[in-house]
Structure 1
Amino acid sequence: MTGPLWTSAAIAAATGGTASADFAADGVTFDSREVGPGDLFIALKGEATDGHLYLDQAFARGAAGAIVSTPVAHPHVLVRDTMAALEALGIAARARTQATIIGVTGSVGKTGTKEALFAALDRGVPGQVHRSVKSYNNHTGVPLSLARMPAECRFAVLEMGMNHAGELSALTRFVRPHVAIITTVASVHIEFFKDEAGIADAKAEIFEGLEPGGTAIIPFDNVHRARLIAAAQAQSARIVTFGSRDGADVRALETMRTPTGGTFVTAQLLARELSFTVGQPGSHLVSNALAVLAAVEAAGGDVAVAGLALAELGGLAGRGARFLVDVGGGETALVIDESYNANPTSMRATLAVLGKEPVRRRVALLGQMGELGMASADFHAGLAEPVIAAGVSVAILVGADMAPLAIALEGQVDFVHVPDAAAALAHLKTMLSGGDAVLIKGSNSVGLAAIVAALGGNKA
């Protein structure tokens, strides 16, 4: 940045508030635990707590100023509603930038695609690409990510998520993307929808915020492709599809597993053919990479440089990170950390990755999946086929909702069914041995990240 991210005068102008003093901020947060020197702290009021209670803590950590709805003895901008002020700050940040904005949503792969897209663009214009961090993709995370965006960046990649219809419609109107990606549509959050077609319609809301002449990037191989295309056409979007089947605009012509476990891909883009490597294993990551290249091309980035960046990407903590565990006797076991979340589609994809690992024994530590509604039992039982196909030697099933899978695996795969993450960790420690590969995956609510941390992972 050539100057401060926000001055008190600019904050007041954006929010309609009143500044108590002059100050300048280089960062923005609403979590007092994340405050760093020079940050702006926004004191949000939530159902469980009130950010105003943490103002002293925020300033002790170096906050430059705050947005508050009650006058305080610190430099601040006084507003009527701090949540509305956060939204206004995000809107102002979007209005002042000339950056090309790329929005990312999808039932699976949002964060990984966002991170890959950031790496691909940043490789071409280092330090000039902004992105949402973590999974800040909801009604507070999206305006926060916008508010953190420097005015002079060249590109910005914003992740948007939803659990219910109408949520993306609101978020995309904040972001106003020039390029909008849907990674895929699957039965995630199905509890809140009549059927999967309803999820597709909710994901397609991202196109409602597209800037005039914007590009919609759509998964060609998805069963809801026609529905997504129709929604994009209704917004007069330019449509680019990606996938592995004939007819996709951006298509994988040939794939080959590399000696290190990644995938060498030859792809047809809109304007050229490109060969590149996806550093991490998995066909789902090849699909995400095609979406990334489609977006880079649509945004005017350098696709050749983007291909180099894809080869260098490692797995994210909770989303494919890998590490070795010392099991004694000079031997190690491989841990594949997919603990961040789970749904039927991502379970199948990661089990397929486990099945291709050239190891002595494959262990699947699987936590129950949430928000599947009345179909939960069928979805859990349906995991038996990919577990068996992956050649899993031992399955550790965590949570009461895994009972249908336990029944389906009877007599086919050795397994143990335990109530919680602590019991799963205890059992894993008794049986883990050299040459094993362990996939750890489940919904956030199961808490499998604690198992990863206990084994020495979760460093990022």
Structure 2
Amino acid sequence: MPDRAPPLWTAQDIAQAVDGRIEGGVFEATGVGYNSKEIAPGDLFVALKGARDGHEFAGAAFAAGAVGALVERAVDGGPCIVVDDTQKALERLAAAARDRAPQVRRGAVTGSVGKTSVTQAIKAGLDLAGPAHASIKSYNNHIGVPLTLARMPERAERAVFEIGMNAPGEIAPLSKMVQPHAACVTTVGPVHIEAFSDGEAGVAREKAAIFSGLGPGGVAVVNGDIAWEPQLRQAALHVGARVVTFGSAAEHDARLVDFRAEGDGARVIAEVWGRTHVFTLKQSGFHWGLNSLAVILMLDALDVPVELALQALAEFQPLSGRGQSRTVRIAGGAFTLIDESYNANPLSMKAGFTNLAARDVGRGRRVVVLSDMLELGDQSRAMHEDLAQAIDAAGLDVVHAAGPEMRHMYEILRPERRGIWAATAAELAEQAEALVQPGDVVMVKGSNGSKASLVAAALADLERRLELSEG
């Protein structure tokens, strides 16, 4: 019989790591969680205080199978480890997980666009090379990063962490917690700029802070095609890191030579360390040309051969709401739905228009369904209006829109491009049948908070509605 996997944590190990007090007995945990709705049998439940006090949900966590709880006061339902501050205790547990597994090669990823997909593509490569660990979903903040570290198995060989931000000063402490051997900035753009008095320059400075966690000899992977490359490079050199770059120019360590969309995927030609590679992707967006190079360089820095990196990229599927494509059958034919509804900003919007323009639609139309981009501060109206010019340049056929900010864009569109505008994505979703025709290629995109996903779901549901009508 195979050896039984050791527990992730024992109660004694947790108590020692967080300087806590065991009450109600000892236990062995196979996982760590803080959301009582997502607790799996064997988990340690961490009672964090946020909009709601996590202690209120300890009973539900135990009922779901939690074997113990990390708390600030004893709760009913099972054994506890009592500490003064559960957030700080989670951070101590994360540091203990890092320090007890010194063999783990750790990577960290941030960027205004693409960090979740790039992180998960890196994880796909790490999995091919040996036991690996990574962030799930978009666990990239002050809770998600220490939680991901605390979940890292002691036997792991490599790990990759996504690190995000909403305001200044958030990335550096998370990077120093992870202490990565390699760190990457996918790109810098006008995202969360309402939190920075100097706009995109502040975003670049904050993204560069991911390199602060690197030790001497660590690897900084930088997008060499962006205007902020010198600032990113300087931040990396300041901590003694080795800088490697990806981009379109000949001087980059990884150079994109050619990118051609082919159906729902793409064919890429790239030069990495002077050697030419030809490989395929299951992503058709042009931005995946550069993303794939970032993945290759990060995997190289984490001791994964290029050949395994290319295999991982060839097999990597688009994530939910981040470019998934599907054919939806409707009366009279079918249309292609590209779901980009998870998030949006001016940079990714324009990239999406360019990608849609490159799609072969035959006699169909290129259609975009857009909801508001959020967190743009006093530049929001101008940045939404600016999309109209990018839509013109891409030659898109029809634009449907939802939300007060997108109305600024909608009102200056050429009349022949105007589809339907609605006050909310929910109202636009109710008109799903009127948004499409057979043969269309339709991209749905918007910030997560403006609920573009409701429209994507309604469009995908048209096939089910057709089946019901057919009896």
Per the shorter chain, which TM-score range? over 0.9
SS of equivalent to 1:336: strand
- Report what 1:332 is aligned to: 334
1:27-85: CA deviation from partner (whole Å, max 9, x where unpaired): 11100000011111101111x21111111111111111110111123111111111111
Distance in structure 2 (CA, Å) of the matches to 1:271 and 1:180: 22
Structure 1 residue 352 displacement after superposition: 1.4
Alignment check: 8 A CA contact 2:342 2:453 kept? yes
TM-score, normalised via structure 1 length: 0.95
Alignment check: 8 A CA contact 2:219 2:242 kept? yes
Aligned residues: 452
Alignment check: 8 A CA contact 2:426 2:451 kept? no
Alignment check: 8 A CA contact 1:121 1:155 kept? yes
- Structure 2 residue 116 is the aligned partner of structure 1 residue 114: no
SS of equivalent to 1:383: helix
Distance in structure 2 (CA, Å) of the matches to 1:208 and 1:200: 14
Greater Cα shift, 67-76 or 388-397: 388-397
Structure 1 residue 286 displacement after superposition: 1.0
Alignment check: 8 A CA contact 1:327 1:432 kept? no
- Report what 1:171 is aligned to: 174
- Report what 2:296 is aligned to: 293
Distance in structure 2 (CA, Å) of the matches to 1:27 and 1:376: 42
1:5-28: CA deviation from partner (whole Å, max 9, x where unpaired): 111011101100012211011111
Structure 1 residue 164 displacement after superposition: 1.7
Kindly report which structure 2 residues correspond to 1:38-437, keeping only aligned pairs within 5 A, or say none: 38-46=42-50, 48-73=51-76, 74-97=78-101, 98-125=103-130, 128-193=131-196, 194-258=198-262, 260-270=263-273, 272-329=275-332, 331-359=333-361, 360-437=364-441
Alignment check: 8 A CA contact 2:233 2:243 kept? yes
Alignment check: 8 A CA contact 2:190 2:345 kept? yes
1:295-320: CA deviation from partner (whole Å, max 9, x where unpaired): 11111102112101211222111111
Alignment check: 8 A CA contact 1:124 1:306 kept? no
Distance in structure 1 (CA, Å) of the matches to 2:116 and 2:400: 27
Distance in structure 1 (CA, Å) of the matches to 2:231 and 2:420: 41
Which letter does structure 1 place at the counterpart of 2:351?
Answer: A
Structure 1 residue 247 displacement after superposition: 1.4
Distance in structure 1 (CA, Å) of the matches to 2:307 and 2:399: 41
Distance in structure 2 (CA, Å) of the matches to 1:396 and 1:122: 41
Structure 1 residue 172 displacement after superposition: 0.5
Unaligned runs of 5+ in 1: none
Distance in structure 2 (CA, Å) of the matches to 1:276 and 1:367: 34
Distance in structure 1 (CA, Å) of the matches to 2:337 and 2:105: 38
- Structure 2 residue 6 is the aligned partner of structure 1 residue 3: yes
SS of equivalent to 1:341: coil
Unaligned runs of 5+ in 2: 462-471
Structure 1 residue 444 displacement after superposition: 1.3
Alignment check: 8 A CA contact 1:388 1:412 kept? no
What is the aligned-residue identity percentage?
A: 44
Structure 1 residue 448 displacement after superposition: 1.6
SS of equivalent to 2:430: helix
Alignment check: 8 A CA contact 2:264 2:325 kept? no
Report runs of 4+ in structure 1 exceeding 6 Å deviation.
none
Alignment check: 8 A CA contact 1:104 1:183 kept? yes
Which letter does structure 2 place at the counterpart of 1:55?
Answer: A
Distance in structure 2 (CA, Å) of the matches to 1:191 and 1:197: 12
Distance in structure 2 (CA, Å) of the matches to 1:454 and 1:263: 28
- Report what 1:454 is aligned to: 458
SS of equivalent to 2:367: strand
Structure 1 residue 363 displacement after superposition: 1.4
TM-score, normalised via structure 2 length: 0.93
SS of equivalent to 1:134: coil
Distance in structure 2 (CA, Å) of the matches to 1:5 and 1:455: 43
Distance in structure 1 (CA, Å) of the matches to 2:389 and 2:311: 36
Structure 1 residue 328 displacement after superposition: 2.1
Which letter does structure 1 place at the counterpart of 2:299?
Answer: V
- Report what 2:469 is aligned to: none
Distance in structure 1 (CA, Å) of the matches to 2:437 and 2:319: 25
Greater Cα shift, 353-362 or 339-348: 353-362
Structure 1 residue 196 displacement after superposition: 1.4
Which letter does structure 2 place at the counterpart of 1:279?
Answer: K
SS of equivalent to 2:172: helix
Distance in structure 1 (CA, Å) of the matches to 2:125 and 2:190: 29
Which letter does structure 2 place at the counterpart of 1:420?
Answer: T
Backbone CA RMSD of aligned residues: 1.5
1:431-451: CA deviation from partner (whole Å, max 9, x where unpaired): 422111111110111112122
